[in-house]
Amino acid sequence: MKILSVEPLAIPEVLVVRFGRFSDERGYFSEPWRAADFDGASGLEALKGVRFVQANESFSKKGVVRGLHFQWDPPQGKLVRVLRGRMIDLAVDIRKGSPTLGKVVGWDMARRDGDAEGEWIWLPPGFAHGFASLEDTTIEYFCTASWNPGGEGGITPLSDGLDWSLCAPSVAGTVRRALAGKPILSEKDRRAATLSSWLADARSDRFRWEAH
């Protein structure tokens, strides 16, 4: 695997990992993920020894907003990439005691056949995840824990308590316009907890920030 760069976002635990593709007149070949390279790459020390136990694929039509989802039992981290299309990927810090608690970071992710590189975004446990699909979009994500329907939670992306100040204005503006229009949003996500109601729930104590 050819890792080109590792870029922390405004909440530095959330990482964008770029990897290379080997292209010629026939097409391209890539190794999107290889454990040994992730374990040894500079900037990915937080992922050393992380074990992925489940891989998921999801398709969303243009205008769909999904999230903001998380799993608290067992805590689940996600490594996400776009296979085709374009989306704004979103992460919300839900770790109690964190200096960025309630803040949102976002990343504009797209995939085209001619791209010379690909991208992953890493969201460790303690972050709620969602995205706004700007085109018909297919994503793949690896998970550090198997899905447990009795241990999952959600915060509605319509929650007034979310703090968008760390997002690039263009990213935040794109998502806000999508939410202000007529987003295709599941009833479950629309009726999910607000940030404040989740933080008042005893289960939210599963996610605590620790200074390093």
Task: Tell me which residues are annotated as active site.
Answer: 69, 141
CA-CA distances (angstroms) from residue 132 to 110, 129, 201, 210?
Answer: 12, 11, 27, 30
Phi/psi of residue 22, nearest 5 degrees: -105, 110
φ/ψ region of 38 (left if φ > 0, alpha if ψ in -120 to 50, else beta) reads alpha
Phi/psi of residue 171, nearest 5 degrees: -70, -50
Q: Look at residues 113, 57, 64, 112 and name the one whose alpha carbon lies nearest to residue 88.
A: 64
